[in-house]
Amino acid sequence: MSPIRSILLHLDSGERSAVRMRIARDLARQFEASLTTLYAVTSTLLDLPFASVAGSSATLELQEIDAARRAGARALFDKQLGAGGPTMAWNELVAEPLVAGFTEQALYADLLVLGQREPDSPSARDVPADFIESVLMGSGRPALIVPYAGDFTSIGGTALVAWKPSRDAAHAVTAALPLLQRARKVQVATWAEAPAPSHAPQLDIVQYLRLHGVHAELRRYGDAPGGVGESLLSLAADLSADLLVMGCYGHSRARELVLGGASRSVLRSMTLPVLMAH
């Protein structure tokens, strides 16, 4: 297990950046970690490439839109910084492609703090629709993803771990250990079949967590009629969980990103912060 010593926070032009900043600063305080913010958005000129043929005046107007978006994000940053607490450094990604640039910076962080995409928000065009998945799969770093709705005053008091015996789930659990060790209650949910009897020593996720000082209760389910992702979110609501830990299942094929059903459902409908890893 690696301690959380470096946190990278993604900022865009949306007002939800303020919520993510508060959460990231609270985590930095808890773990005495350094916090770096990275303002990374797609340029309006790239988002509307045909505008460039309209002439210099159109290009200038788009540049002014970009400057206003940046100024709004910087104002939120300055307001948060002025409220006291852990320091954070402002950085901007100025080169394209955006995903590749952010992913490269993610390699130097123990934890990323990202925001769920809100399709109907003006800031939805700031990053590609598959930004979260692309960064997770490209960097291999865990990310705490903050929903686009709700105000989360604490994270990890009651944690729900989605478990199946896979590399992605194991990576997510290991990354979440610093948070799980501070939780008051940890529930592990699995929809896998019960292991077959064996004469060999049988290791399991509850034992693994116990060895790391986390006392968890295992809940085993046989099926998920509405899909595992929806079942997870329903269970999280029933438990009043304020953190979901799960693997991000999927892979990329050339330009196509393919996600597993549970990952896709949670990223679309999440109602609580989710720590994901691939």
Instruction: Point out which residues pair with 49 in neighbouring strands.
Output: none
Residue 50 phi/psi, 5-degree rounding, is -75, -15
Give the separation between CA 192 and CA 105, rounded to whole angstroms. 36
Identify the pLDDT of residue 235.
Answer: 95
Give the separation between CA 52 and CA 50, rounded to whole angstroms. 5
Residues 6+ apart with CB under 8 A from 211: none
Put residue 49 in one of left, alpha, beta given phi > 0 → left and psi -120 to 50 → alpha: alpha
Cis peptide before 97 (omega within 30 of 0): yes
What percent of the chain is helix, strand and coil (3-state, nearest 5)?
Answer: 40, 20, 35
pLDDT tens, 85-123?
888 889 999 878 999 999 999 999 999 999 999 988 888
pLDDT tens, 27-54?
999 999 999 999 999 988 766 655 555 5
Residue 220 phi/psi, 5-degree rounding, is -110, 130
Q: Are strands 143-146 and 274-277 parallel, antiparallel or unpaired?
A: antiparallel
Put residue 154 in one of left, alpha, beta given phi > 0 → left and psi -120 to 50 → alpha: beta
User: 3-state DSSP call for residue 6?
Assistant: strand
Model confidence at 22, pLDDT cuts 50, 70, 90, reads very high
Question: Does the structure show a pLDDT above 80 at 193?
Answer: no
Say which range, 7-11, 94-98, 162-166, has the weakest mean pLDDT: 94-98
Label residue 143 exposed, middle or buried (CB < 10 Å: 0-12, 13-18, 19+): buried
- Give 95-146 as a DSSP string: SS-HHHHHHHHHTT-SEEEEE---TTSGGGGGS-TTHHHHHHHHH---EEEE
- Give 78-99 as a DSSP string: HHHHHT-SS--EEEE--SS-HH
Percent of the chain with pLDDT over 90: 68
- Give 219-271 as a DSSP string: EE-S--TT-HHHHHHHHHHHHT-SEEEEE--EEEETTEEEE-HHHHHHHHH--
The sheet carrying 185-190 orders its strands as 89-92, 34-39, 6-11, 111-115, 143-146, 274-277, 243-247, 158-162, 185-190, 216-220
- The full set of domains in the chain, from first to last, is 6-146 (3.40.50.620), 158-277 (3.40.50.620)
Q: Are strands 111-115 and 250-253 parallel, antiparallel or unpaired?
A: unpaired
User: 3-state DSSP call for residue 197?
Assistant: coil
Question: Does the structure show a pLDDT above 80 at 230?
Answer: yes
Average confidence score pLDDT of the chain = 89
Identify the pLDDT of residue 127.
Answer: 94
Give the separation between CA 189 and CA 34, rounded to whole angstroms. 32
